Structures are given as structure tokens and as C-alpha cells.
Amino acid sequence: MADDRAPSGPSGPWTLARALAPASVAIVGAKDSSSTSYGVVEALSRVGFEGQIFAVNRSGAPAHGLTAASSCAAIGEPMDAAVLLVPAAAVSDVLEDVAEAGIRTAVILSGGWAEAGPEGMARQRTLASRAGELGVTPFGPNCLGFLNVAERTGAWIASVPADVRPGPVAIVSQSGGVGNALADLAGEFGVGLSCVVTTGNEAMVTTTDVLEYLVEDQCTSSIAMFAEAISSPARFLAAAARARELGKAIVILKAGSSALAARNAVTHTGSLVGDDRVVDAALRQSGVVRVRSLEELIVTADVMAAAGPLRAPGIAVVSISGGSVDIVADEADRLGLDLPPFGEPAGEEIRAVLPGFATVQNPLDITGAALGDEFAKVLAIVDRQDDFGAVAVLSNVPSYDSSKVPGICGLLSTIGTGLGSITLPGFLLSQTIAHLNETGRDAVRGAGVSALPGLSLGVAALARLSRWSRWLQSDAARADRPAPARNPGQLGDFPASGPSGTVSEWRARELLEPAGVPFVPAALARSPGEAADFAATLACPVAVKLVSPDVPHKSDIGAVRLGVAGEDAVREAFGAVLSAGRVHRAGSRVEGVQISPMRSGGVELLVGVTRDPQWGLAIAVGLGGIFAEVVADIAVRLLPVTACDIEEMLTELRGSAVLDGIRGEPAVDRGALVGAIAGIADAAWGIGDALESLEVNPLRADHRGAEALDALIVFRAAHQKDGAA
Ligand SMILES: Nc1ncnc2c1ncn2[C@@H]1O[C@H](COP(=O)(O)OP(=O)(O)O)[C@@H](O)[C@H]1O
Ligand SMILES: [Mg+2]
């Protein structure tokens, strides 16, 4: 938490909670002609701030009707926060003044710091360290500050929606502009806010600091986060674990997913698993809900806060305005929203309430005609079904046309009363994203339900709520996940032997087999005669491969011969793979030639472990063997993983049906496959810091079991081992 780094002073330990709740605010650079400083005053008034506000400018000229002073120190009263509207060049002087005045929080608007190149970066570092010495916690620079709606305070340098209202959703955004847009949208959608914090260049306070604070904040039930990068991954994950314990959702829009910094890696896994796949895995494994748009971010956070974890993942949809039921059904199907059928006797009970309505299905169309006590009765029946965790009522909501308002308000109050009398959380799902007029908004709020703006956003948010709730109940979410011990002895100390840290397939096998990874049988032949002898004992066609730490991709250079049958052919293949190695690179070290029985049929998978500089070791599982790169159908998780995670990864693959057997092939032995993958994962985790990457490609699976047909390990040079996970 920022608190660790933020200084303590005479007034006791400084916490982010205190920084975010100033009782008095000095606006440095305030002048009457400035709409920016006016905006700060206006924002404070919008949230009902009742503390002192001072205008500070060089001449001490009054501004916006506030008492003015020529410096913070000249105010002569203790102040909590200063908003610095001065240019970057003036910031360091103002910071000294701020500290002299005993102010502990400074919100810095100006740009021209780290975002402006190396010089700016150096200036920002100096700023941060000086702030630290002075005991001032800076927000930004290059940020819009924070708005604490719940505590009716802030230091916010942007617009505030006219109808901002307190509520359980917190917003944290690296970008000030995005934070501002999100706050505006929350107002537009009627979403109540606890606070909005922007962190800008994060000279000191980061989004992760703010996240840690918000997770514990009593006024916050869900957190909407926008970030381009996640700072301090380990602390981020710990905050996510704490949020899970408290049943609070973290919803994130993480930008930069297209900038796939595919790594320059020896193994294919490295290039398959871009940075974003690893981030995605980290978020998924920690129960953080990822969205792709700002609208989804606000609506999803709203839904999560309103409902909290559902008792069951199923959602019942009751439609009043008909028409759109099929759209809901289609969207639900597309987005994986769980809409369980009503079942019996619930169906029978509903039919009894709604005579003449033959099709009792979910979504249920009861039409406006059944809005008497039928509606409440249907809701009560739904409420008794264990399959459901929430109810969404599909209805028109009053928008531009005020002439419709009175009728719709009546309808909304019926819906509100109905939803209010059941235990399940309820939502109003409007058909479109149409702007609500003020009366409409009041009516929806009066009904005491969250109105979800339109079917696309609404169904998507409900689907995420449902999935998150299911995840919270799953094994994957268990806080006490056992982490396999590192360096399980048998792996010993294997130094890198290839120029880029690679070891031969044979050496990789020697490491992985004792760690529980099943391999196709093999022998290492050092002469054509040995090769032929071993092939003869196998009495079947064999695979003949060059074994060299300098040839990580053997078939690329013709160093693999498949389906070799008969003594002469084996002898010939022995010579051929050796000379392929020599042609590839003179002086390639050769450990021998590997002879294995030819396997056929089954499914080839790629299982790879790669190191992400930020998040540590990640495992990828994909279908396709040698085609994996083209098909790119992979599932990714951070290590360590449980068998349960591995099962989930297999299910997640687009081509997962292949594992269940297609074209008359029997289903693969899932248990054996999961066991083999777990062996690879544990071995990689056991190698730990010394591992750069590890790949088993292919891992072949059929109904009898799973075996590795190839393996490649890349070790890190000693100087690369930084102790990172
Ligand atoms: N014992 C075997 N039985 C059947 N096919 C094999 C066997 N060993 C290798 N192969 C096939 O040959 C391909 C290339 O062999 P592999 O050892 O993976 O070499 P590379 O170093 O090029 O990845 C594998 O992807 C697999 O399809
Ligand atoms: Mg291979």
C-alpha cells in the first residue's frame, strides 16, 4: 500500500484513506478567469463539500468568491490537500510551499513529466523523492485528482455529472480523461459512486495502491478499474484475493492488449503467449472480471455492486414488453449467460398464475397484461427456485418522450415493489441504451432497482455476474490453494548446456521423467549398430532423432526421421540425422541419436511454460502439435496450477471436442492427460528461477494415456535470475 512509502508525520501515520478525504482544500493557481480552478470549486460543491476552500495565487487575488492567499503557507490555517494547477516548471517550488503549510496531499495536474521522455522522467523521479522527503503524498502528476462522493469531498480537476450520487461503485483510473468519462457515464446511467481516483503518471500513488485501499473501503462494493499497465503484480493479486474474500468484485478494462509483445523466444510457447495472454490468465485466476469497453466497465461494476455474489449462477428473465425476449435468448447464448429452465413444479405453478400463456420458458414473456398480482406471484415462484441467483425484468423505461412517463412510472413502481418483495437481487433490463429523462431516472431509482442500459450491455453484465459468482464457489477460487513446493529435489542442478540455455531432448527427458512426466520409450544410440539393435527390440517402425543441445528444433533441419522400418533403414537414418546436424552448424555438439517406437493416432498437444517478465512463469496448453502456432488455440495460466485449473484449460480450448473423440476415435484419457500436464507444470515450477522456458511438443494423448514425444528446456543464465517468480 502507498502507506508504506508515504511518510508519517506529527499528525500520525498518513494513509490513503486520509489523503482521499480532505476536510480542507487549497487550490494553487486559482484565478477568477480560470475555468479549471472554477471546476475544482464546482466539483466540491456538487458532492456537497462543507469544508474550507482557499484560492492561492501569487498576488493573493480573490477567485471564485473564495478567501485568497499568496501562498499555502500564508493561509495560516492547517489544510489537508492542495490542488496544483500550475505548470510543471512551477511544481517543485509549490511543493515546498505546500509542505511548509503542513499540507500532506498534493494533486498535480500538469503534464510534461515521465510521459514526455527521459528528461521528464528524471524530473518526475526528483519530484517523487522530494515529495517523500517533505512528507507530501502526490497524486499524479498528469492526473485529475480524486472525487470522494461517499465522504462528500475531493480534489477533482474535471467535470462532475449534475446528478452524481453516492453509491457502492468505485472508479480507479490511471488516465484522468478516462476517469472523468467514467464518472460522467456513471451519472448518465444512474450508477452511484463511492469514489473516483485518477493516478496519472503515478510518481507515488499507483492504481494498485488505490485498489488496495478500495478493497477495504466500507463504502465500496465493487471497483471499476482502467489501467494501461498493472503495477506491482504480486500486490495486485493479493488485493484481488482479499476482494474475493470480501465478496467484492474488481472489474477491469486493461488497455494495450493489441500490443502483443511476442517474445523473442527459443520455444514456440514464448511467441504464442503474448503479454496480454498472461495478463488475461492472471486476471482470470484471481477472479478479476475483464471487460472490453468503458460502458461495460461501468455497467458490470454496477451489477456486481448491486447483487454481490449470487447464491446460484442462474438468472431468470421476466419480460414485460415482449418483443425482445428472443434477443435476450440469443445474447445469452452468445455470451454464455446461464438461463436455466424453470423446471417442475415451478413451470406448473407459473402456468397456473398465467392462464393462457402456454410457453413457460426462461426468458419468460408475461406481457404488460399480466402486471396485476400475476407479476408478483411469478417473481415469488422464481424466488423459491434454487437454480436462480438473480432476476432481470425486461421492460421499457421512460426516455425522451415525457408524455409516456406517468404510465411507465406506474409500471416501474409495480416492478420495484415486485422485486423488492423477493430475496433475489433484481434488475430492470431496458430494451435499448436510450437516454433516460430525469423523471425516468427518478422513477427507476424510486423503484429501488438498478436499470441496465440496453440488452447488449445488460446481458453481458449479467453473464459476467453469473460467471463471477460461479467462480467464487469453485475450487479455483479457494484462498488456500496449495502451492507445490519448489525444487523438489529430484530435479537437481542442471546447468544450461546450449549457447542459448537449451538442453537436448534427451537431457530434458532425464529431468522431466523422474518428475512425473510420462515419455514415449527411447534409447540413445551412439552408433548405427546400437540404433539398429534397439530398433530390432521394438519390432515396429521407429522415430530416429538427432540429440543435440544445439539443435532445439530438429525437424526444421531434417534431424527427425519418422516411420523408419528395417535394419538398413535405421542405419541410414542414423547417418542422415547426424549429417543434418553437421550441415546445420559445424561443431554442433551431438549426444547421440534417439530411437523411439512410432506412435500413431491420438491427439497431439503443445504444453509449454514461458517466463513473463512481470508475472513470472505461465503455462500454455494448446491443440495441434506442430500446427499449434498457426491454429493458436491455447489456454494460459500462471504457475502454479492445480489439476482443476488444467481441466478448465482443456475445456476452454476451441477445439476441445477433439479430446472427446471425433471421427470414430475414442475419447482421450482425460485423467492421464491432466496428470501429464500437471507433471510438466510441477517440474517447471520446481526448476523455478533457473527456468526460461520449457516445452513438450507434442504431448500425445489417446484413450490409453498420454506421453511426451519431445521436450525442450531453456535455462536462464545465472545473471538473469533475479529472484522473480
Ligand atoms: N515417437 C514418435 N511417434 C510418432 N510421431 C513422432 C514421434 N516422435 C516425433 N514424432 C512426430 O514428429 C514431429 C517432430 O518431432 P519432434 O521430436 O517434436 O521434433 P522437433 O524438434 O522438430 O520439435 C513431432 O511433432 C511428432 O509429430
Ligand atoms: Mg517437437
pLDDT in tens, 230-263: 888 999 999 999 999 999 999 999 987 664 444 4
Percent of the chain whose predicted confidence (pLDDT) is above 70:
89
In which order are the strands placed within the sheet that holds 166-173?
Answer: 153-156, 145-148, 193-198, 166-173, 222-227, 249-254, 289-290
CA atoms within 13 A on the CB side of 633: 17
Q: How far apart are CA 444 and CA 447, in angstroms?
A: 5
Residue 235, helix vs strand vs coil: helix
Residue 613, helix vs strand vs coil: coil
Q: In the predicted model, is pLDDT for residue 300 greater than 70?
A: yes
Question: pLDDT band for position 162 (50/70/90)?
Answer: confident
- How far, in Å, from the CA of 112 to the mean position of ligand 2? 50
User: Who contacts 326 (Cβ-Cβ below 8 Å, separation ≥6)?
Assistant: none
Q: Is 670 a pocket residue for ligand 1 (Cβ < 6 Å)?
A: no
Residue position matching grid coordinates 493479493 = 238
- Closest residue by Cα to atom 17, ligand 1, is 710
pLDDT tens per residue, range 94-136: 999 999 999 999 999 999 999 888 999 999 999 999 999 999 9
Cell triple for 378: 411469478
Q: Is 259 a pocket residue for ligand 1 (Cβ < 6 Å)?
A: no
Other CB atoms within 10 A of residue 125 CB? 13
Other CB atoms within 10 A of residue 478 CB? 12
| pLDDT for the residue numbered 406 | 67
**Which has the closest alpha carbon to 196: 215, 181, 211, 183?**
183
DSSP string, 398-438: --S-GGGHHHHHHHHHHHHHHHHTSSS-EEEEESS-PPPPH
Q: In the predicted model, is pLDDT for residue 151 greater than 90?
A: yes
Q: Is 558 a pocket residue for ligand 1 (Cβ < 6 Å)?
A: no
Return the minimum-mean-pLDDT range out of 26-40, 204-218, 346-360, 505-519.
346-360
Q: How far apart are CA 547 and CA 476, in angstroms?
A: 39
Residue 160, helix vs strand vs coil: coil
- Ligand 1: atom nearest CA of 551 is 21
Q: How far is CA 54 from CA 51, 227, 364, in A?
A: 10, 32, 58
| Nearest ligand to residue 625 Cα | 1
- How far, in Å, from the CA of 422 to the mean position of ligand 2? 58
Q: How far apart are CA 94 and CA 74, in angstroms?
A: 12
Q: Is 625 a pocket residue for ligand 1 (Cβ < 6 Å)?
A: yes
Put residue 372 in one of left, alpha, beta given phi > 0 → left and psi -120 to 50 → alpha. Answer: beta
DSSP string, 691-705: EEEEEEEEEEEETTE
Name residue 156's beta-bridge partners: 145
- How do 166-173 and 222-227 pair as beta strands? parallel
pLDDT tens per residue, range 547-585: 999 999 999 999 999 999 999 999 999 999 999 998 888
| pLDDT for the residue numbered 403 | 60
Question: pLDDT band for position 625 (50/70/90)?
Answer: low
Q: In the predicted model, is pLDDT for residue 6 greater than 80?
A: no
pTM of the model: 0.90
Strands (E) across 143-264 are located at 145-148, 153-156, 166-173, 193-198, 222-227, 249-254
Q: Is 698 a pocket residue for ligand 1 (Cβ < 6 Å)?
A: yes
**Stretch (H or E) spanning 240:** helix 233-246
The amino acid at residue 458 is: G
- How far, in Å, from the CA of 494 to the mean position of ligand 1? 24
- How far, in Å, from the CA of 668 to the mean position of ligand 1? 19
Q: Is 626 a pocket residue for ligand 1 (Cβ < 6 Å)?
A: yes
- In the predicted model, what is the mean pLDDT of residues 709-714? 96
pLDDT tens per residue, range 660-711: 987 788 999 999 999 999 999 999 999 998 999 999 999 999 999 999 999 9
Q: In the predicted model, is pLDDT for residue 69 greater than 90?
A: yes
pLDDT tens per residue, range 260-278: 444 445 556 566 666 788 9
**Which has the closest alpha carbon to 210: 249, 177, 236?**
236
| pLDDT for the residue numbered 633 | 87
Question: pLDDT band for position 444 (50/70/90)?
Answer: confident
pLDDT tens per residue, range 450-479: 889 999 999 999 999 999 999 999 876 665
CA atoms within 13 A on the CB side of 37: 26
Quick check: 242 and 215 in contact, CB under 8 A? Answer: yes
